[in-house]
A and B are shown apart, each in its own frame.
Chain A
Amino acid sequence: MSGADPTTEQIPAQNELPATPTMAEIVRPPRSSTSTWPLIDRLCYGLCWATGIALCMIALAIVVFMFVKGISYLRPSLFIHSPAPSLHQSQSGGFLDPIVGTLIIAAIGTLIAAPTGVALAVWLSEYGRPAWLARAVESAIEMISGAPSIVLAIFGLLIFSQGFLSFLSQPAAEGSLGSSFLCAGIIMALLALPLIVASTRAGLSQVPDHMREASYALGKTKATTIRRVLLRAIRPSVASGVVLGLGRIIGDTAIVTVLAGGNLINQANGNVPILSTLRGTGSSLTTYVYENSPAGEGNAHQKAYAAAFVLLVMVLALNALVTRLTGERTARSNWLSRMRPAWIR
């Protein structure tokens, strides 16, 4: 690397290895101009630059467009009023109910998916006997992750319309209505499950074996090891998996439209304080955006933009959370901040 001829240099003694050159000492080779490259290489190089710049511009354009439109239509009163069911949506009403709806569905979905996902991941990577069962469970989870959410939604509608599940929503003339926050939340858990399982398994596989062995050496059983040692060690992975699942839940429209009723206002079902809301129907921010866009009934695109802006802010917050949860571990996990080798410019 330093240009010295290796055949004439004396082989250094074991404890006299040459010092590793520091950053300052590395002589950067002159950057080769692309004029010496063949035409096809120059074309590809130029194309990469063009695509990269184009991607930057489009990405920034979308983000700036959404932010500008959103902020211009966002008013504080939108946060405290419920949607008003009138033919002229642009006149009144806000999105308090959809925000509450989003939070409720996200909470139910995550509360169901997180323990289930972690338990599944632990079983898959720590136990996993018999092997055919483990492969079947893995395939099933992969199938769920690839299934469109609308398919999960109609499946949920089918299941929850059965009479014996009417306690989850409300009874109808025959069977049950099948639409409520609880129903939507349960199916949302299916959406988040693969992400949590994958993230937890990745975390578990990165825990070095000697931690487990040390715990066994101290006389702990496998169950205790998992509970006390491993689950504590993989907390960041589980947290980032949960946040990723949360992001997917918040962004889904199909399940909410089909399974949480078609109204914009949250209507509770009964008199029991919290349960009646959970059993009632309502909307979330995503269905609110859909209904107010030209594709829905409302035709009030100002409110659609404002609600979309709130959604974007939520996604931003979740992304920042994921970065904080995983960024502290290694810088390498941040795929773009990885240092390029200094000699490649």
Chain B
Amino acid sequence: MRVNRTLIVSLILAALLVVPAGALARRLIIGGSTSVLPLAQKLAAAYHKAYPKLATPKVEGGQSDVGISGVASGRFDIGDSSRDPLETDPHGLRFTKIAQDGICVITNKSNALTNMSQQTIVSIFTGSISDWSEVPGAKITGPIDLFDRDGASGTQDAFQHIFLGEELKVSPKATPESSNGLEQSSVGSDQQAIGFVSFAYTGGVNAVGYQGIPCTLRNAKSGQYGGVRNFWMVTKGAPKGATAKFLQWVTSGNKTTKSIINSSWIAIH
């Protein structure tokens, strides 16, 4: 009898697990770029507030390439990308621009460079200059500690395209970090460090001006600052159903989304 009772209880539990699975309205799964991550999280929370009946979309990190391949493989409903689409991306993806963002070159606070020309940035990041004594305006001496982003990062792609041009790549000896946050904390704790992050992560480090223009949100919005890149949300084909609803809300330019995006990014709708 005892065995039978245990069997019955476990069968009921199993049924409970399986049955409601079909009855659920599925949450959206968004994943990808760590630069877009804070924006996507805020948008998701505000979306749930605006439409309380719909579940908050689940937002994950990864990196831009992870977001794109995740959408292609069906793991994510929406992928976040902080770089422009490339020909090598999987076919059939639809990129929707949602905002713009700026990239700042950052140094440690004890090395408060105010400005760097493109030539200097190129020489430093490709490795031709390797000592701070060769950099005009540097406040310290010693070897330069380069920080980069690792393989799948869209910020790295965008940085290379905007600051280094189409041909050059960041020197392979740079230390790769896997997120903006990590880049920010590495540069913040190493006096001789230099790296690049998205706007929203410039707390605690020194943001270096680019070609005479300080790296601030206002300069980026006015178009003066040159290091601006696009944020995309990627879907497999045209967005449908719940995905379409979300994307439509994000790109509609309504008050909520505008105020969220304008807090640390540049609204375009």
| Cβ–Cβ contact A297 & B26, under 8 A | no
Q: Give, as a whole number of angstroms, the nearest-CB distance from A277 to chain B.
A: 13
B27 touches A174 (CB 8 A): no
Residue in chain B with minimal CB distance to A157: B75
Q: Is B262 an interface residue (CB 8 A)?
A: no
Q: Which of B99-107, B180-188, B252-260 contacts A (4 or more CB under 8 A)?
A: B180-188
Q: Is the CB of A174 within 8 A of B182?
A: no
Chain B residues contacting A177 (CB-CB under 8 Å) are 29, 58, 75
Which of B16-24, B132-140, B159-167 contacts its partner?
A: B16-24
Partner of A267, one of B34, B56, B76: B56
B228 in the interface (beta carbon within 8 A): no
Are A267 and B17 closer than 8 Å at their CB atoms? no
**B68 CB, min distance to chain A CBs, angstroms:** 14
Using known A-B contacts A172-B29, A269-B27, determine if residue A262 contacts B60 with beta carbons closer than 8 Å.
yes
Q: Which residues of A, 279-313, contact B by the 8 Å Cβ criterion?
A: 281, 294-299
Given A173-B236, A174-B74, A297-B61, the answer on whether A270 and B182 have CB atoms closer than 8 Å is no
Query: Of B17, B18, B75, B201, which is in contact with the most chain A CB atoms at under 10 Å from its CB?
Result: B75
Question: Which chain B residues border A161 with CB–CB below 8 Å?
Answer: 75
Contacts of A267 in B (CB 8 A): 56, 58
Q: How far is the CB of A2 from chain B (nearest CB, A)?
A: 63
In this complex, the interface size class of chain A, counting residues with CB under 8 Å from chain B, is 20 to 34
* Cβ contact within 8 Å between B61 and A262: yes
Within A158-194, the residues touching B (CB, 8 Å) are: 161, 166-168, 170-175, 177-178
Complex: A295 Cα to B56 Cα, angstroms: 27
Contact between B17 and A261 (Cβ–Cβ < 8 Å)? no
Tell me the complex Cα distance, A166–B18, Å.
9
Chain B residues whose C-beta falls within 8 Å of the C-beta of A23 in the assembled complex: none
Q: Could you say which residues of chain B place their CB within 8 Å of the CB of A271?
A: 24
Nearest A residue to B13 via CB reads A275
Q: Are A299 and B56 in contact, with the CB atoms below 8 A?
A: no
Residues of A close to B17: CB separation below 8 A? 167-168, 275
What is the distance, in angstroms, from A105's C-beta to the closest C-beta of chain B? 17
Nearest chain B CB to A231's CB is how many angstroms away? Answer: 14
Interface residues of B in 48-106 (CB under 8 A from A): 55-56, 58-62, 71, 73-77
Most-contacted residue by chain B among A172, A178, A281 (CB, 10 A): A172
Find out whether the CB atom of B77 lies under 8 angstroms from the CB atom of A173: yes
A19 at the interface (CB under 8 A from B): no
- Which residues on B sit within 8 Å (CB–CB) of A297? 34, 37, 61, 179-182
**Max chain A Cβ within 10 angstroms of own Cβ: one of B26, B34, B180, B264:** B26
In the complex, which residue of chain B has the Cβ closest to the Cβ of A85? B41
A225 close to chain B: CB less than 8 A: no
Contacts A261-B58, A262-B61, A298-B181; A174 near B73 (Cβ below 8 A): yes
Q: Point out which of B24, B42, B45, B189 has the most chain A C-beta atoms below 10 A from its C-beta.
A: B24
B200 at interface, CB cutoff 8 A: yes
Judge if B214 is at the interface, Cβ distance under 8 Å: no
Interface centre among B17, B21, B42, B71 (most CB of A within 10 A): B21
Find out whether the CB atom of A272 lies under 8 angstroms from the CB atom of B182: no
A172 close to B182 (CB less than 8 A): no
Q: What is the minimal beta-carbon distance from A159 to any residue of chain B, in angstroms?
A: 14
Residues of chain B lying within 8 A (CB to CB) of residue A263: 58-60
Partner of A175, one of B27, B74, B182: B74
Nearest CB on A from B69, distance (A): 13
- In angstroms, Cα B182 to Cα A258, docked, is 19
Determine whether A88 belongs to the interface, using a CB cutoff of 8 Å to chain B: yes
| A114 CB, min distance to chain B CBs, angstroms | 15
Instruction: Kindly provide the distance from the CB of A276 to the nearest chain B CB, expressed in whole angstroms.
Output: 8
**Cβ of B223 under 8 Å from chain A:** no
A87 within 8 A of B: yes
A271 to B27, CA, bound (A): 12
Max chain B CB contacts within 10 Å: which of A174, A281, A299? A299
Q: How far is the CA of A272 from the CA of B23 in the complex (A)?
A: 10
Distance between Cα atoms of A170 and B21 in the complex (Å): 8
Q: Is the CB of B27 within 8 A of A261?
A: no
State A87–B201 Cα separation when bound (angstroms).
8
Enumerate chain A residues within 8 angstroms of B20, measured Cβ to Cβ: 270, 272, 275
**How far is the CB of B230 from the nearest CB of chain A, in Å?**
20
Q: What is the chain B residue whose CB lies nearest that of A174?
A: B74
CB contacts (< 8 Å) of B34 on chain A: these are 297
* B38 within 8 Å of A (CB atoms): yes
Q: How many angstroms from the CA of A262 to the CA of B42 in the assembled complex?
A: 16
> Interface 1/0s, chain B 201-226, versus A by CB < 8 A?
10100000000000000000000000
Q: B186 near A172 (CB under 8 angstroms)?
A: no
Q: How far is the CA of A171 from the CA of B184 in the complex (A)?
A: 35
Which residues of B from 114 to 173 have beta carbons under 8 Å from A?
none
CA distance A313 to B74 in the complex (A): 42
Is A167 within 8 A of B21, CB to CB?
A: yes
Q: Which of A85, A161, A168: most chain B Cβ within 10 A?
A: A85
Q: Collect the chain A residues with CB atoms within 8 Å of residue B73's CB.
A: 174
A-B contact pairs, 7 of them (CB 8 A): A85-B45, A87-B203, A172-B76, A174-B75, A267-B58, A269-B27, A297-B181
Please name 8 further chain A to chain B contacts, defined as beta carbons within 8 Å, in addition to the given A167-B21, A171-B21, A267-B56, sorted by A numbering: A85-B42, A172-B75, A172-B76, A173-B76, A177-B29, A178-B75, A263-B59, A294-B185
